[in-house]
Amino acid sequence: MSKISYVKKDDKDSLDVEATSVFESSPDSAMYDYRMSLDKLKNELAKFGLTSNQSKVYIYLGKHGHKTAPEVSKALKLPRTETYYLLTILQNKGIVSATFQHPTRFSAMPLDKAMWALVHAEKERLRDLERKEKDLVELWDVIPDFTTGMTVTKEDKLQMLQGMNQIHGKIKEMISKPKELMILGSGKDFLGFYHSDLLVQLDSSRTDLKLLTSCSEKCMYVFDEVDKTRVRKIPNKIRECTCFIVKDDDELLLFTRNGSQSSDKVTAIWTDAASMIYLMKLLFNYIWTTSKSIYPTTTHDLTE
């Protein structure tokens, strides 16, 4: 005869805490699959500006319904003062609401509405920064330049970039008005450039443009707006993890982790070091001469 166990109402809190063990489940537990999904969700929410604990509180409220601050604190094993702070932040972001009753109970907005609120707030923040640009420039110009009259020796610069947004912002600066532009990258790299509207900005009629890629036939549409004679296929011996951009004799951007990585893990190095730019241009031109056009054309290839 099977044994049936009953749970008293007084034990509700203990069950509630037990249900949240998904946040701390081990690989050998039945809840671990859910934890992996939660970790992925937290990583995605981080892209919308939520910290790890803010995400935990939002997810907990979204999956467990109305809760008081002490219940959230106990379930997630967070200090009570931090819990109140997190709930206030989430309310200010517009993704958690509170009741007027006592004790106050909190609930999460539906995910689609929460995402809309976060995206809308970010757009407003960016518009506000744009509006302040002129004021910041005026404040900057008020401060005198103390290097006036001094002999300044040019020094090579090096800048580390992380995250696709930061890197694409730098690329947009590089390709604004180049005389010569060389880009080598994998299919994933050029797809990323295409979806960020970077390729649209390339004016091959005014720029000595050369593109080397390993794109397959399925993604060749990314070059629809580019002069087809400017694009060549990378030889098979070239590894797809390679990606770099050279602008004139002035700038080089070299990916250390390219489009094969997730967008937040992509890293690159920007430099204006003449020796590095010279070497990468030599490498690019060598690969260009050993590559073939990926489009059938009746015109001759670009002169080397």
Closest listed residue to residue 83, CA positions, set 100, 103, 101:
103
> Tens digits of per-residue pLDDT, 60-79?
999 888 999 999 999 899 99
Tokens of 50: 């939520």
| Angle in degrees, CA 5, 65, 104, rounded to 5 | 110
The residue to which tokens 């005869």 are assigned? 1
**Do 158-293 and 10-113 have the same topology in CATH?**
no
> Tens digits of per-residue pLDDT, 240-291?
778 999 999 999 999 987 666 666 678 999 999 999 999 999 999 999 998 8
Average pLDDT over residues 140-150: 77
> Tens digits of per-residue pLDDT, 192-234?
888 888 888 876 667 889 999 888 888 888 888 888 889 998 8
So where are the chain's domains? Answer: 10-113, 158-293
User: What's the fold here for domain 10-113?
Assistant: Arc Repressor Mutant, subunit A (1.10.10)
> Residue 5: what pLDDT?
38
What integer best gives the mean pLDDT of the chain? 81
> Tens digits of per-residue pLDDT, 74-122?
989 999 999 999 999 999 989 999 988 888 999 999 999 999 998 888 8
The residue to which tokens 């500006």 are assigned? 49
Q: Is the pTM of this model over 0.85?
A: no
CATH says 158-293 is which class?
Answer: alpha beta
Residue type at 126? L
